[in-house]
Amino acid sequence: MAVSVKKQRTPEEIRAAWNGARGENIDLFVYGTMMSSRHVKLLLNRDVESEPCTLFNYLKIVPPGAFFFIVRQNGAMVRGRLLKDLSPDEIARLDAFENEGTLYYRVPVVVRNSDGLRRRCQTYVGNVPALQRSFAKEIHFEDRYSQYIERKIEQVLEEELTPETPAAGNLLARQALQELMSLEKDSLLESHFDGDYICNYIMSQTFRETRPPQLNRLFENPLIRPYADHYMEFICRHIIFNQIASRVRTDFPDAVRVSRKYFRHGISILLSLMYCNRFRSRISELLKERELDRAVPGRSYREYAEGAILVAQKIYDKAIMRAKASYLESNWYSTPTPLGAELEFSSLGVRAVYADVGEDPLFDSFYWFNDFDLQRRLWRLGGHVDAHRTITPGGQARYRGFLEYALGRFNIGADLSRPLFDCPWAMSRVINEAVKFCGLPPHSLHISMEMPRLSGRPMITENRHKESDLACLLLLGGDLHHDEEGVLREWRIFNNELDTNSQNSLNFLDRKHHYSRANDEDSGSDVMEYKFLRLHSGNQDYAKVIAALKGYQFASGGRPITIIRQGQPELPEQTFLREWAKHPQALSEAEIEHFIEKVEQGIKLEFNSVSLDKRNRKLLDNILSTLKERNQYVAKG
């Protein structure tokens, strides 16, 4: 019979085991989400040494969809990992993350490692009555981490308040303060998710430097006063939109959750836009009733924010939003290609970037965008002024131009973005809803798509585009209408709207690299951006246009048609596009069929399939029908 011999420990091992529970630094036994080294590093900003261990006489409880926890149970055991040598500050962070004292209690225990050695340490034991309230609620690490960071940020915000601060002790005023600083809050949260730990001092400094403008100074400025009413109404509508989007994320975390590859606010902004558009008339009534649609002397920016928050609270109905979330889920379908979009608006059309002072009677072509702090109100929509100039970090340069929603761009100055969706239907819907919500005349639309390498083959090459294929693209997404003399034109190109640089090069489609993290080349994505599309009012079917663009690019691998090098002649494609836009010519049936075959081939490549499913077959039929209809329109002249 074999006799087990207990391994003798050295004095150093005994001392380490004791200090694991009693010393300044401690060891912590974990058994749930903290078994992931990625999660630990995200919270503690370092790699932590660990080893597998077993805790005896405790039972691990795994409620459906809720937090794991352990309770004492003789004869049971829990397998986990021992995180070694955690500092008091690191333990404090983990306590805050685990809601120690509310959901869990941290207690001393003894575990055994794989060699059978005893290790004194601490662990989190469940507070069962408190945890029961979370049962049957799907909880993800990302949600818990977001909540942890948001609590931390709000704590820093609270520390900035003094008894003399108007927001101190006033719930509504504090909500307004958080709304006014929501861009900074989101940027800090984004930094934490990217693994950049931000200390409390930097947070405090960030919030101190974030102060809304003094409205009286703006209202008294004779250059601004004619536009102040329109700016204030626009600001308050976007605050209402922001508040609804925040409520959606709180009330329906499962409905809005996306992978880290995508813009994490994408689904919530779509739901918020849908909701705000449904109640647009009611919102306008309430803004007018509370004088939030005009410049009121003596009223502060915070007071406008408070009023808009009350409007959002008045119109919000969780049951209605639940129905919208269900509708979205029932129509959603994913494709292999991540998508993005940029929408431009102006009451002056192409003249927006050349506008004279006061030519735009509503917003003066958003010349006062930064003065009214609109970048912080429109951040969820990537709102900025596009003056067809390079955006400077800080965004303080003042120009007249288009109002642009760059959906998915979360840092304008650093040009950081993530794709919005991979669902063409949802992309079409968010474009239509954004046009309705903005309320300004729509001008242009850019659709971008991340291009993979399939079997080592790039989807963007130097292949020349076939002229009839380019004409098909213009039939699908261009702007065909007659000029004042009754001559049919494709107006985007004929009106030189795509000549957006000093060389007047036709910028039809461009290859770009989009980055999601600053100074990180590995976060870049190879993107093809189609810039020629007209943005329309009303409900448009952009899904079929997106499907056509994707299929065409996958099949053709066509080259960019963009700004040429100094002194170089335009590409043949640019010359053709100018001529066709000036005098559109109908295509033959064979040319249209060839384009459709190419799109079908590209869709099969995208999905790695030998045939089209029912949805893609229907999209292809819609593309063909639209091409035939618009080709007949061109044939009539």
Residue 310 has pLDDT above 60, yes or no: yes
**What is the band of 419 on the pLDDT scale with cuts at 50, 70, 90?**
very high
The DSSP-derived string for 126-163 is E-HHHHHTTTTS---HHHHHHHHHHHHHHHHHHHH--T
Question: How confident is the model at residue 173, as a pLDDT?
Answer: 82
Percent of the chain with pLDDT over 90: 62
> Of the candidates 244, 323, 256, which has an alpha carbon nearest to the alpha carbon of residue 282?
244
To the question of domain 11-139 being in CATH 3.40.30.10, the answer is no
Question: How confident is the model at residue 66, as a pLDDT?
Answer: 59
Average pLDDT over residues 90-102: 88
Where in the sequence of the chain do the CATH 3.10.490.10 domains occur?
Answer: 11-139
Residue 588 has pLDDT above 60, yes or no: yes
Question: How confident is the model at residue 458, as a pLDDT?
Answer: 76
Q: Which of 411-425, 428-442, 539-553 has the lowest mean pLDDT?
A: 411-425
Question: How confident is the model at residue 63, as a pLDDT?
Answer: 67
Using CA atoms, how far residue 129 sits from 126, 476, 561, in Å, is: 9, 60, 64
Average pLDDT along the chain:
86
What tokens were used for 602?
Answer: 């590209």
Using CA atoms, how far residue 198 sits from 90, 151, 177, 203, 452, in Å, is: 14, 14, 21, 7, 34
* Bridge partner list, 212: none
> Residue 122: in which H helix or E strand, if any?
strand 118-126
What stretches of 252-377 show up as alpha helix (H) in DSSP? 253-256, 266-278, 280-289, 301-315, 318-331, 374-377
Higher pLDDT, 44 or 588: 588
Question: How confident is the model at residue 460, as a pLDDT?
Answer: 84
Residue 392 has pLDDT above 50, yes or no: no
pLDDT tens-digit series, residues 175-195: 888 898 888 777 776 765 655
DSSP letter, residue 45: S
Higher pLDDT, 421 or 136: 421
> Of the candidates 572, 569, 303, 593, which has an alpha carbon nearest to the alpha carbon of residue 469?
593
pLDDT tens-digit series, residues 60-82: 877 655 567 888 888 889 999 99
**What is the band of 1 on the pLDDT scale with cuts at 50, 70, 90?**
very low
> Of the candidates 516, 542, 504, 562, which has an alpha carbon nearest to the alpha carbon of residue 343?
542
CA distance 441 to 346: 6
Q: Which of 235-239, 262-266, 294-298, 477-481 has the lowest mean pLDDT?
A: 262-266
Residue that the structure tokens 């246009």 belong to? 545
Residues in the chain: 637
Residue 486 has pLDDT above 50, yes or no: yes
Higher pLDDT, 554 or 129: 554
Average pLDDT over residues 294-300: 96
Average pLDDT over residues 493-521: 77
Question: How confident is the model at residue 72, as a pLDDT?
Answer: 86
As to burial, measured by CB atoms within 10 angstroms (0-12 exposed, 13-18 middle, 19+ buried), residue 481 is exposed
Question: How confident is the model at residue 184, as a pLDDT?
Answer: 78
CA distance 102 to 268: 29
Question: How confident is the model at residue 501, as a pLDDT?
Answer: 63
What stretches of 343-423 show up as alpha helix (H) in DSSP? 374-377
> Do 301 and 376 form a contact (C-beta atoms < 8 A)?
no
> Do 588 and 467 form a contact (C-beta atoms < 8 A)?
no
pLDDT tens-digit series, residues 592-622: 999 999 999 999 999 999 999 999 999 999 9
> Do 32 and 131 form a contact (C-beta atoms < 8 A)?
no
Phi-psi map region of 579: left, alpha, beta (phi>0 left; psi -120 to 50 alpha) = alpha
Residue 503 has pLDDT above 70, yes or no: no
> Residue 383: in which H helix or E strand, if any?
strand 383-386
**What is the band of 393 on the pLDDT scale with cuts at 50, 70, 90?**
very low
Residue 135 has pLDDT above 50, yes or no: no
